[in-house]
Structures are given as structure tokens and as C-alpha cells.
Structure 1
Amino acid sequence: MSSHDISQPDDNLPHEQEKGGEVEAAGNPFADPGLPPHEHRQQDIDERAARRSERTIALLFTVSMLATVAFIASYVAFPVDKIIYVFPIGHISALNFSLGLTLGIALFTIGAGAVHWARTLMSDVEVADERHPIEAAPEVKAKVLEDFAAGAAESGFGRRKLARNTLFGALTLVPLAGLVLLRDLGPLPQDKLRHTKWAKGKRLMNYNTMLALRPEDIAVGSLTFAMPEGMKESDHDFQTQIAKAALMLVRLQPENIKDKRELDWSHDGIVAFSKICTHVGCPINLYEQQTHHVLCPCHQSTFDLSDGGRVIFGPAGHALPQLRIGVNKDGYLEAKGDFAEPVGPAFWERG
């Protein structure tokens, strides 16, 4: 940096450059021409035009509020499996289409209203603020605060109450769309996780053959997987329901059953327990015939099926839920009700 640069720090400020600007413009095509004369908008000189703009802004914010309400209503009204035809998109989920459309309108109209407010009602006077970088002097700071106060007054935020209040309404309602989506984090324990498809009188169906099971179909020492009568793999919610209702059957010698309730809930040594591990919900499928233990392959939790399905090793928090079973008049195994406690991880013990 030359001594001239150090001694003349204000050479590059706009008001210094403007000196002799007319001479520079004649010989320098890149000279700063300065700001053009300010042209007033219709809203600046006609209060009726300003009020029309305010009503337009309020209309956009109101549409945003209505779209947010429609978003929430669509979430409640449309089932997840409803399909509709929309030209030219084709077949699409009614829920996804309605949520995307209403949320898009809600966000777009807030943006459009804010842009229209800025372009028609807020001050559009261009001001060249001459100041050095780094820390400003106290008088400059005071000027900034003064300019901010003036800008706030010129924006009409305090005076244009209709536009301001509808903006607040739109901004308040839009976050509700995000809160509604939290509902998809999982089913509510009270009405979803506490109940399965098992009910009194439902027959036990072999998971592989889809045939109703009789006691003689289950040999001593064997492991059989079952599901409730009436479920089909073609059902839209089959995977959700089988994840809770999956059942494993083992036939023990009645004298080998240690737990009295387990004995009362069994039939001729056939015991029925949930197949879902009580640690993190993995399916159990490893059976040790000599010890009557079942092992979860995910984290090695081990349960004793001859002693109420209690945990004897691993991180599982509680015993496997047992299903009370019996035999109907036609000789088929049937459930006497649902599981006594929710299946899977022990969320319900923390109630």
C-alpha cells in the first residue's frame, strides 16, 4: 500500500467519487452514473390503491390459513390406501396429493403476500449509506437505529393492521402442518400396540400351510408358527398386523411346565407365546428342544418356554406374552382372547 493510500482513506467513498463525476463521465464509460431519480408508485400517492394492495395481501394470507386448515382436514379425512386419478399425473395416493397441494398453497401464498407487501406498500426509496467497514462510530450506530425506526414506520407494519394481523395468522397456522405430521412417527400405544388380531374364538392357523391347527398336528418337542384366523397376506395391513400377532407353539410334557398360569393357559402341553422378542421386537425362531429355550437371533435374549416365557439371558426386559388357548367343538385349537399384555418391547411398563 502506498503512502497516498494510507493518507487518503476516504478516496473511495461515494461522495468523494462524485466530485468531478461529470468530467469522468465524458471520458470514462465506466464512471458511476449515480442513482436514477426516484419514481413514486401508485400506492405512494393514492391511498385507495394502497388499500387495494393491502386487501390483496390479506387475501393471500387468508388463503394460506384456509390451506393449512385443509391440510389438517385432508390428513384426517383420507385413508392412507385411497387411490385417485389426477390428470395428467395418473393414479396417485389421495392423501399424498391433498397434503402436497394444500401445504404448497399455504407456503406459496405466505411468500406471495410478503413479496406483494414489500413491492407495493413498503418504502422503495434507494439510499446510499456511506460508512467505513469494521466498527462504526457512535454517531453511525445512532444513525442505523434511526434508519431502522424510520424503515419500520415506512413499512406500514404498525399502520396496516389488516395485512399485519393476517400475516400473523398465516405464520401461526403453518407450523401446525408439521405438528400433524408427528402423528406418523408411530401408532398411539393406547389403541394400536396394546391389541392384536387375536380374539376369543379365533382359530390358530398354520403360518406356512394356512390351515387350521389341531392338537395332533403339533408333536412333542416341535416348534410351529401360527397366526389368527381371517388374516391374509393380500391384506394391505398384513405386515403391520403379523408383526404383533405372530405366534409360536411348542408342545411340552405337561409335567415339565413349571409355571401354573402357563399350565392353565395351555392345552395338553401345547403352549402359545408371542414370537416377538421383548427387547427390540425381532422375530424369535431358534428353539432348543432339550432345555425348552428359545433364542432371539438379534441380541441373544433367551426365554424359557417351560417357565412362563421368562428371560434367562440377554437384554430383553420382560417375559414373552402368552396367549391362552383351548380347543373348540370341532377339535381345532382356538384363542381364548388376546395377549394379556402388549407384545414387543416394554414401552407399556413405563406408563
Structure 2
Amino acid sequence: MAPDTYLTQFVFLGLTDNWVQEILFFMAFSAMYVLTLWGNILIMVTIVFTPCLSTPMYFFLSNLSFIDICHSSVTVPKMLEGLLFDRKTISCIAQLFFLHLFACAEILLLTIMAYDRYVAICAPLHYPNVNMRVCVQLVFVLWLVGTVHSLVQTFLTIRLPYCGPNVIDSYFCNVPPVIKLACTDTCLTGIPIVSNRGTISLSCFLALVASYTIILFSLRKQSAEGRRKALSTCLAHFMVVSLFFGPFSTDKLVSVFYTVVTPLLNPFIDTLRNEEIKSAMKHLRQRRVFKPYPIYIELNLVTLKVILSFISTSILYFL
């Protein structure tokens, strides 16, 4: 390829080149994606149609469901297409932008939700006075910060010259594997990219740790019933945070976890551990707002066990 020729499309290798595994992966990930969409939409509809859930906690929870839908939709459909067809090309600019936008938005939202739990538990008398307008403003700010972050990451990546090769050893476009293909020294570009990502991730992580540390210390002064309710709420949120922060890696199989599995587990955790949401879903079902709630829970339980078993078996096979 001539040195003055620049790439506009990239080829990704995908998860595997074995057609049997491709079919199995396609079936498993298709089921997971459908359940992710259905579960998160179910939570959003429940919160919107239930007036008693018009609180900051559930407002943020509905936004988390929306982000999970968007986050998984950035990578999963293209991955499923790659599992079915031999032609695995992609224009990286759009995927890079939206991937970082939704990932940053989710990190910031999880941090805001941790602070919301801190106010609810450590300052319960002030919590009912929290203005929903402030919550809307916080969500607006997180989308603004996410957009700026994503623009920086995308601009710094696409401004590099790409003369070839154009093969990405992954199933989606992310900054590290893409800049490796640049036909120039990427040290100066890599520093602001890592600094930008690291500043946001580290700041949010420290804020999350501080919030939960203060919450745990404050629980000592509460009654046994108060501690139980607070721990139940915080545990569900902490599990979601752990799923999102824990598996970051450039490894393809580990990347599957936070692009495919985590968006599925979030509504699964929130639905089954939150009595108010389960009660609201049953009430809406009685009003015939939606009918398949029990089917969804049962299907989630069975399918989740099958999918997790399949993933663990596949990982052991690859290892």
C-alpha cells in the first residue's frame, strides 16, 4: 500500500475462526442481547409508569438501564454480524465515539448513584428534599463530560496516519488496538489518551471508594433493620460497580464480559434484589401495562445459568 494512502475501514478478526464456535457464540450472544434489551426496557417502563418510583434513586436507575442498552448496542450487533459473515470490516470512527461516550457516561452515573446512596443513608432527613431538577442537571453534566471525553479520544486516534496493515485483533474498535496500526510514533498521542481516560476512571473510582467507606462507617449507628435495608441497596449497586470496573482488559474474552455480560447482569441484579421494583412490576402487570414479567424472570434465571455455563466452558476451552 502506498505511503500516502490512508485507511478508512478496518478488518477485525473476531472471537474465533472456527465455524462451529461461531454458531454457538452467535446463539448465546443473540440470546444475551435480546435479554439485555428486554430487561433494561422493562426496568425503564416500570419506573416511568410507577409514580411512587419518582425518586432520585430510580431516576438514576432508569438512566443506567438506558446507557446499558446503548453500550451493548454499540458492539454486540456488529459482533453478531461478524460471527455470521466472512466479511468483517468496520468504520471505526462512529464506534470509537459512541463506545467511549457510553462507557464514560456509565462510570460517571455509577459515581453519582454512589453519592445518592451516601445522601440517602448518611443524611436521611435531607434526602426527601433532594430536587429532581438537580438530578436532571447531573445527568446532563455527565452526558456533556462523556461527549467531551469521547471527542478527545476519537480525535486523537483518527488524526494518526494509518497506512496498513488494517487488521484489528478484536471484535470491536477500541483505542489501544487501533493506534497500534498507525504508521507513526504514537508515544506523544498515547500520553494524552491514557491521561484523559485515567483521570476520569481514577477520580470516579476514588469517589466510589470514599462514598462506600463513609456509608459502611455510618451504618454502625443505625438499627439492625436500617442496616439490612441499606446493605441490601448498596450491595446491588456495589455488584454493578464491580462488574463494570473489574474486568477492563484488552483481552478479547475478558472484553466480552463488560460489553455483553455486564449489561445483561445489571437489570438481572436490580430486578431480583429490589423489592420495590418487583412490587411495581406486579402492579403494572395487574393493570396489563405488560404481561410477560413472570416469564421474563423465569427466562432470565434459566437462560443466565445456561449462558454462564457456556461462557465458562468456552473460556476453559480457549485456555
Look at both structures and tell me which one has the larger radius of gyration over its CA atoms: 1
Looking at secondary structure, tell me which structure has more helix per residue: 2
TM-score w.r.t. length of structure 2: 0.24
Looking at secondary structure, tell me which structure has more strand per residue: 1
TM-score w.r.t. length of structure 1: 0.22
